[in-house]
C-alpha cells in the first residue's frame, strides 16, 4: 500500500521506482515473470559496483518455461557487463524443456546458483538440476559437469519427481543447500 506514511517508490531505481523488462522477444509481451532477485556486492571481489541479478521466467506453456538471468545496475539499468547484453539463458545442450519453477542464490564470491528441474528427454519424468554461473553471466565450467549438476534422477519411470523450491549458499561459497519437494513431502 503506497498510500501509507513513508511508503514511496524509490525513484533512484530506473527513474520511477519500477521497471518493465518484458520487451524481449522471448517474453512475447507480458509473458515474463521475475521469480527471484539477488545482489552481487563489491565485497565479493567479483564486481566493482553492486549488481542486481533477476531470475526471469518466460512461460512456454503450463508445463514448460525458459529461464533467464538479467543483470541490472544498482540504479535499475540493464548491465551490459553481464553476459554482453545483460541477459543469459539458463540452459545447457541436451537437457530438454525446463519445468516452470526455479530459484536463484548468490554465494560469498559472487557466483550465481539456479535450481531448476527438467523433463527427462522423451519421458514425463522430472529431474532436479543445479546450474552455477559466474558474476559476469557465464556458465561456470569448473562446477560439476560443465556448469550443471544433475541432483535427482531416479530413472525414466520413477514415482519420485522432486520439484525445485529454494537454493541457498554458505557465506564463504563452500556449500550449497537445495530445497525441493515431491507433493507434500519436503526434502533437503
Residues 100-117 have pLDDT tens digits of 889 999 999 999 999 998
Q: Is the pLDDT of residue 135 over 80?
A: yes
Lowest mean pLDDT among 28-42, 49-63, 117-131, 138-152: 117-131
What is the tally of helices (H) and strands (E) in the chain? 0, 11
Lowest mean pLDDT among 55-69, 91-105, 157-171: 157-171
Question: What is the rounded CA–CA span in Å between residue 32 and residue 21?
Answer: 8
**Cβ-proximal residues to 185 (8 Å cutoff; 6+ apart), any chain:** none
Contact, 39 vs 50, CB < 8 A?
A: yes
In this predicted structure, what is the pLDDT of residue 184? Answer: 46
Question: What is the rounded CA–CA span in Å between residue 96 and residue 185?
Answer: 26
Up-side HSE of residue 54: CA atoms within 13 Å toward CB?
21
In this predicted structure, what is the pLDDT of residue 177? Answer: 83
In this predicted structure, what is the pLDDT of residue 179? Answer: 75
Question: What is the rounded CA–CA span in Å between residue 52 and residue 110?
Answer: 11
Question: What is the rounded CA–CA span in Å between residue 130 and residue 177?
Answer: 11
Mean pLDDT of the chain: 83
DSSP structural state of residue 19: -
In this predicted structure, what is the pLDDT of residue 188? Answer: 47
Question: What is the rounded CA–CA span in Å between residue 135 and residue 45?
Answer: 10
Mean pLDDT of 159-183: 74
Amino acid at each position: 500500500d503506497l498510500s501509507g506514511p513513508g511508503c514511496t517508490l524509490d525513484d533512484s531505481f530506473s527513474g520511477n521506482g519500477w521497471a518493465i523488462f518484458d520487451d524481449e522477444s522471448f517474453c512475447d509481451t507480458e509473458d515474463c515473470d521475475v521469480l527471484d532477485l539477488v545482489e552481487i556486492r563489491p565485497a565479493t571481489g567479483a564486481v566493482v559496483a553492486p549488481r542486481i541479478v533477476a531470475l526471469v521466467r518466460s512461460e512456454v506453456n503450463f508445463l514448460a518455461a525458459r529461464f533467464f538471468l538479467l543483470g541490472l545496475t544498482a540504479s535499475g539499468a540493464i548491465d551490459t557487463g553481464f553476459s554482453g547484453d545483460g541477459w543469459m539463458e539458463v540452459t545447457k545442450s541436451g537437457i530438454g524443456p525446463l519445468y516452470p519453477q526455479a530459484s536463484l542464490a548468490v554465494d560469498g564470491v559472487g557466483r550465481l546458483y539456479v535450481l531448476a528441474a527438467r523433463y527427462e528427454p522423451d519421458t514425463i519424468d522430472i529431474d532436479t538440476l543445479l546450474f552455477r554461473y559466474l558474476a559476469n553471466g557465464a556458465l561456470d565450467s569448473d562446477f560439476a559437469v560443465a556448469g550443471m549438476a544433475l541432483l535427482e534422477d531416479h530413472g525414466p519411470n520413477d514415482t519420485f519427481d522432486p520439484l525445485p523450491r529454494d537454493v541457498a549458499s554458505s557465506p564463504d561459497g563452500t556449500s550449497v543447500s537445495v530445497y525441493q519437494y515431491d507433493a507434500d513431502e519436503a526434502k533437503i
